[in-house]
Amino acid sequence: MMGVVLFAGVLFYTEKGGARQDDFKDMWHASWFVIVTLSTVGYGDVVPATPAGQAIT
């Protein structure tokens, strides 16, 4: 849970000025993305666009 929240925070602030800003509207969306990624489900509805965000992922 800690990991999810921490990574969500980092992604949220890296994606703030990115191309797909709407994907990471708020922390909830960011944590949704992190949970989906960590559980290896990977829906792909929320995608990080900035290089920094991709690197973190």
Partner 1 sequence: MPYLEDHNAAAALDGLEELKPLSSEKAQSTPTSVVQKPRAPSPTLRVAAETSKWKESITHLGRSGARVLGLQSTQDKRLALNYDRNISRAVRRRRRRGMRTRILLFMDEPKSSVAASIVFNVVVVLILISVGTVFVDSMPGIDEPTQMVVEVLEVVCSIVFSFEVLLRIFCTESLISCSSDPFMWIDVLSVLPFVLKYTIFQAVGSEVDLDFLRLVRLLRLLKLARHYEQSRVLLITLKLSAEGLLVRGARGGCWLRPVAFRRRPCVFLMTHRALYGRCRSSS
Does 56 participate in binding partner 1 (rule CB under 8 A)? no
Among 16, 19, 45, 57, binds partner 1 (CB under 8 A): 16
Indicate the residue among 42 and 57 with the shorter CB distance to partner 1: 57
Q: State the nearest-atom distance from the C-beta of 15 to partner 1, in Å.
A: 11
Three-state SS string over 5-27 comes to HHHHHHHHHHCCCCCCCCCCCCH
Does 26 participate in binding partner 1 (rule CB under 8 A)? yes
Q: What is the CA radius of gyration of the chain?
A: 10
